[in-house]
């Protein structure tokens, strides 16, 4: 299927080699709870295809990235935070604060998040 770097934690979660609290799965995406939640609800949405950084997203990946946003919308609805609000974040490379090099969308909600983005 996809080229999976042997040392990618999120590929290991996809392959069930390490456990995660999985919230959603289909052919393209996996969503699971962040191990160090920064808010009452903190999920990560990842593509099953290994893409290292936002810089590596190709034109052909556009539908996949769109599905990530739609899944965030659906997870927020399940959590009852559609109207109260939530935040989506994708960090890229060192100065963006990326620590896991398999793209992921953070979905944060369930409390008043601080204004500003650091």
102 binds, among Zn ion, ligand 5GP, none (CB under 5 to 8 A by kind): Zn ion
Among residue numbers 69 through 108, which ones bind Zn ion (CB under 5 A)? Answer: 102
DSSP string, 40-84: SEEEEEEESS---SGGG--GGGHHHHHHHHHHHHHHHHHHT-TTT
Interface with ligand 5GP (CB under 6 A), residue from 16, 36, 60, 94: 36
- Give the DSSP H or E segment for 22: strand 22-25
104 has catalytic annotation: yes
Does residue 11 interact with Zn ion by CB under 5 A? yes
- Residues 42, 50, 102, 104: which is the catalytic one? 104
Active-site residue numbers?
A: 104
């Amino acid at each position: 299927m996809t080229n999976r770097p042997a040392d990618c934690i999120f590929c290991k979660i996809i392959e069930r080699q390490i456990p995660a609290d999985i919230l959603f799965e289909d052919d393209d995406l996996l969503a699971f709870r962040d191990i160090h939640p920064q808010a009452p609800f903190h999920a990560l949405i990842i593509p099953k295809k290994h893409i290292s950084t936002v810089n590596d997203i190709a034109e052909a990946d556009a539908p996949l990235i769109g599905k990530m946003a739609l899944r965030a919308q659906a997870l927020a609805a399940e959590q009852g935070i559609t109207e109260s609000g939530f935040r989506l974040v994708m960090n890229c490379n060192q100065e963006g604060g990326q620590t896991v090099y398999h793209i992921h969308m953070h979905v944060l909600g369930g409390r008043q998040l601080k204004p500003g983005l650091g």
